Amino acid sequence: MKLGQLTLCQCRPRLRTRVLATSIGIILLFSIALAALINKLYQQNSMAAYSRDLASQIPMVMAQLSKDGLIRADQLTAWIQSLDPSSSDYMSVLCTPDNHTLWTSRDVQAFNIDDICTHIPNEAKKPQYLSIAGFNVVAQRLSSEKQPGDSENRLFVLRNVDKQKQQLADLEAETWFYISLLFVSASALVVAACHWSFSPLRRLARELIAITESRQQTLDNDYPDELQDVTQALNRMITQREKQKSRYRHAMDDLAHSLKTRLSATNALLDDNHLSREQLNKRILEQVSQMDDMVQYQLKRALVGQCGLKREDSPLTAPIDSLTGMLDKAYRDKPVKVVRAFDESASLPVHRSDLMELLGNLLENAYRFCLETVQIRLDDHGEVWQLAIEDDGPGVPEQYRESIFQRGVRADQLNPGTGIGLAVCDEIIASYDGNIHASDSPLQGAAFVLTIPKR
């Protein structure tokens, strides 16, 4: 049993594992995708920056070639004159120290911008983005070592960035598209993960509905560890509720069974023409009082169970007198001799209501099946009392001597009955750690023997 429970515990999925596994998986996928996107953007920016650096080094390369005699000055002049400045997006501006424009390339002049130098920072050693009336450029000052007597004028190189802006806009749109796609995908995965991770809770709700509709008795045991305490508590509550329902149902059955004999006795009293009205009223009030006590007793058993009744020493003679008087009326057509083989002052450690229920069921059976004699015997066996109700009737067949203490089982199928009385006796005596069994009577009939611990 323990090995099976251990195997079940090892195989049972944990709710925490579900959530962690799915969350980590989603984060991993999202990180990989985002890393790929960032890597792509970085490669594009890196290549662009590298290309710009190469372009800025072209004058240095030409100077190195001229210095080493690999290219003549006239060839350099011819090469420069062969270039078409209008085909390039590079422009030049020469500014005075007080930000007046001395000279601009023709491309700058085409934009008709007055005093462009006022819009360019004095240093601009790093590329500066400028947007002047739709003229979008990046400006950078060409650095040079200042010599004595040199002019303070500043030369700036401008580059049109309209194409780059469009590329950046396209790149931004593409980036947002992929980020949105990743977000939607991640959201869908999170929703799917939540649906899978919390599926045990939905199954728990379905099983609870099935239990309320009587299609299932208890919750299954194969829930994740985090829900085990909840499901076990719910199962205990369900079991307790079923036990309470069973107690109420049994209490109602027991009440009906107990009232049946008293109602028969009441009918017998009403049919007795020898009683005066005063005597009849007194006897009927006694029966009504007993029935009221029986109702209260059964309700208490239904609420708190059999163990809720307090143990106390109850005299044996008083309930026997009351019950035999009632049964004599109910079975007035069959004179029954009751033999009392016990001390009149004897008492038993049983609640008086329980004792009344025990004796009522056993004596009613004895009256029904006896020929003419019923014997009540009480023996002291040291630590226990042994109470026997015996009769001279047909007895109980061997094959029924155990099963007759189950609810609904009867040894006598010819006469009407419910099969409840002996089951009630068994439940009551078991609550006192005692037992009851059927055997043969010295009177050649049945004997029902109760063994009751003294304390």
pLDDT given at position 2: 41
Higher-confidence residue of 148 and 107: namely 107
Higher-confidence residue of 172 and 221: namely 221
pLDDT given at position 114: 74
Per-residue pLDDT band for 450 (boundaries 50, 70, 90) equals very high
pLDDT reading at 159 higher than 90: no
Per-residue pLDDT band for 32 (boundaries 50, 70, 90) equals confident
Per-residue pLDDT band for 447 (boundaries 50, 70, 90) equals very high
Higher-confidence residue of 318 and 14: namely 318
Per-residue pLDDT band for 337 (boundaries 50, 70, 90) equals very high
As a whole number, mean pLDDT of residues 140-167 equals 68
pLDDT tens digits, residue range 223-250?
Answer: 887 788 888 888 888 887 887 777 777 7
pLDDT given at position 308: 47
Q: Which range, 1-5, 219-223, 304-308, 358-362, is most confident?
A: 358-362
pTM here? 0.48
pLDDT given at position 13: 56
pLDDT reading at 451 higher than 90: yes
Integer angstrom CA distances of residue 42 from 21, 48, 79, 126, 196: 31, 10, 36, 20, 37
Looking at every residue in the chain, the average pLDDT score rounds to 76
pLDDT given at position 363: 92
Per-residue pLDDT band for 50 (boundaries 50, 70, 90) equals very low
Structure token pair of residue 195: 């649906």
As a whole number, mean pLDDT of residues 42-52 equals 56
Q: Which range, 276-290, 300-314, 399-413, is most confident?
A: 276-290
Superfamily classification of domain 309-455: Histidine kinase-like ATPase, C-terminal domain (3.30.565.10)
pLDDT given at position 65: 57
pLDDT tens digits, residue range 169-206?
Answer: 776 677 678 777 877 787 788 778 778 877 888 888 88
pLDDT tens digits, residue range 263-285?
Answer: 777 777 777 777 788 888 887 88
